[in-house]
């Protein structure tokens, strides 16, 4: 997090925007008082790979990346629809059956 006077921010906005894309928070000040906080959009992932974003969440303790699959913790759920049901629902919605499709 860094503080930048508004006048300075106007002069070097593209430089600070580049830093914000890489996760930096810029506090805009006027007469020494913070008047705005400029941050990267939340969840936009600008300038970060999914791996970087996941590592950041793990560092903040929001996700665990070292957990093994455990059937007792994550049991297999039964299917919500019978096999082929989605195709039938789509056909009903469209009012047609595609050539070569069952049903």
List pLDDT tens digits, range 43-56. Answer: 555 566 788 878 88
* Averaged pLDDT for residues 10-27: 84
How high is the pLDDT of residue 35?
92
Cβ atoms of residues 35 and 29 within 8 Å: yes
List pLDDT tens digits, range 82-102. Answer: 887 888 888 888 886 666 666
* Averaged pLDDT for residues 2-23: 86
pTM of the model: 0.41
Q: In what order do the strands lie in the sheet with 33-38?
A: 2-5, 26-30, 33-38
- Name the average pLDDT for the chain: 80
Delimit the domains of the chain by residue range: 2-51
Residue 41 has pLDDT above 80, yes or no: no
Whether domain 2-51 has CATH 3.40.1620: the reply is yes
């Amino acid at each position: 997090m860094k503080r930048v006077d508004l006048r300075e921010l106007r002069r070097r906005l593209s430089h600070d925007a580049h830093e914000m894309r890489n996760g930096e928070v810029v506090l805009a000040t006027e007469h020494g008082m913070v008047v705005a906080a400029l941050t990267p959009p939340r969840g936009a992932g600008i300038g970060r790979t999914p791996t970087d974003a996941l590592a950041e969440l793990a560092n903040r303790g929001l996700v665990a990346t070292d957990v093994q699959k455990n059937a007792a913790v994550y049991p297999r759920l039964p299917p919500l629809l019978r096999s082929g049901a989605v195709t039938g629902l789509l056909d009903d919605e469209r009012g047609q059956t595609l050539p070569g499709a069952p049903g």
